[in-house]
Structure 1
Amino acid sequence: MTEDPKGLLVELGAMRKRARADRHGYWLPFLLFGLITLAATPFYAPRFCVPSGQNPELVEPQPCSWNSAEMPWLYHWLHPAGQVMNSPVFSHFQPNIAADVYWIVALLCGYLAVVWWYRWRAAQVGVETPTRLYAQVTIFMLVLPLVGVPVLSELFFGRAGWQIALPITVAVIVAATWRVRSVGFTLAVLVLFALAHFLTVYQYGPLFVLAAGLAGLAHLERNVVCTVTVAIFTATVLFVNEAGRFGFYWPRGVEHFASTAVPAFVLLVGGIIGSVRREMTR
Structure 2
Amino acid sequence: MTDLPPAVLLDEMARLKTRTRADRHAYVPPLLLFGVLVLLAPLWSAGGPARFGVGIVWFGTALELYWLVAVVGGFLATACWYLCRGSRHGVRTPIRGYLAIGFVGVVAISFGLPVVESFTYRVQRSPYSQVSFAVPVMVIATVALVGCLWLRSTFESRAARAATTAAAVLAGLIALGALDLRFAPVRPYAPLVTIALGLIGLAWLERSRVLGVISGVFAAAALLANLYNMQNVFFHLGVFARYEGPQTQAFTNTLVPGLVLLAGGAVAWFHERGARA
TM-score normalised by length of structure 2: 0.68
Indicate if the aligned counterparts of 2:30 and 2:78 stay in contact, CA closer than 8 A.
yes
Report whether the alignment pairs 1:212 with 2:192. Answer: no
How far apart are residue 71 of structure 1 and its match? 4.3
Q: Given the alignment, which residue of 174, 177, 188 partners 1:197?
A: 177
C-alpha separation in 2, matches of 1:109 and 1:198: 24
Matched-pair contact (CA < 8 Å) for 1:195–1:208: no
Post-superposition shift, 1:185? 4.8
Q: Partners in 2 of 1:188 and 1:196 — Cα distance? A: 12
> 1:104: how far off?
0.8
Instruction: Please identify the structure whose Cα radius of gyration is greater.
Output: 1
Aligned equivalent of 2:209:
224
Alpha carbons of structure 1 residues 71 and 99: separation in structure 2 relative to 1, 3 Å: closer
C-alpha separation between the residues in 2 aligned to 1:101 and 1:280? 39
Query: What TM-score, normalized to structure 1?
Result: 0.67
- What amino acid sits opposite 2:103 in the alignment? I
Within 2, Cα distance between the matches of 1:274 and 1:71?
A: 39
Gap regions ≥5 residues in structure 1: 48-65, 80-95, 164-169, 171-176
Q: Does 1:268 align with 2:268?
A: no
Matched, 1:3 2:7: no
Partner of 1:106: 70
> Distance between the aligned counterparts of 1:37 and 1:207, measured in 2?
8
Partner SS state of residue 101, structure 1:
helix
Choose from 114, 134, 142 the match for 2:106: 142
Q: Map 1:22-41; keep pairs closer than 5 Å.
A: 22-41=23-42
Alignment identity in percent?
Answer: 34
Distance of 1:215 and 1:235 partners within structure 2: 12
Per-residue CA deviation, residues 140-175 of structure 1 (Å, 9 max, x unaligned), is 321354369989xx9xxx9xxx99xxxxxx9xxxxx
Which residue does 1:84 correspond to in 2?
Answer: none
CA distance in 1, matches of 2:84, 2:17: 21
Larger relative contact order, structure 1 or 2 (CA cutoff 8 Å, min sep 6): 1
SS at match of 1:250: helix
Match of 1:130 among 94, 97, 114: 94
Deviation track 1:75-127 (CA, whole Å, cap 9, x = no partner) reads: 96367xxxxxxxxxxxxxxxx70111111112111111101111111122221
Distance 1:110 1:216 in 2: 15
CA contact (8 A) 2:196 2:222 kept: no
Q: Distance in 2 between matches of 1:38 and 1:29?
A: 14
How has the CA–CA distance of structure 1 residues 23 and 209 changed in structure 2, closer, same or farther, with 3 Å as cutoff? same
Give the aligned length: 223
2:220 is aligned with 1:235: yes
Residue 250 of structure 2: which of 248, 253, 256 is its match? Answer: 256
Distance 1:244 1:207, change over 3 A: closer
* Whole-angstrom distance in 2 between the partners of 1:2 and 1:262: 54
Distance 1:117 1:198 in 2: 32
- Report the CA distance between 1:195 and its aligned residue: 3.0
Quote the Cα distance in structure 2 between the aligned partners of 1:258 and 1:278. 31
Who is 1:174 aligned against?
Answer: none
CA-based RMSD of the aligned residues comes to: 3.6
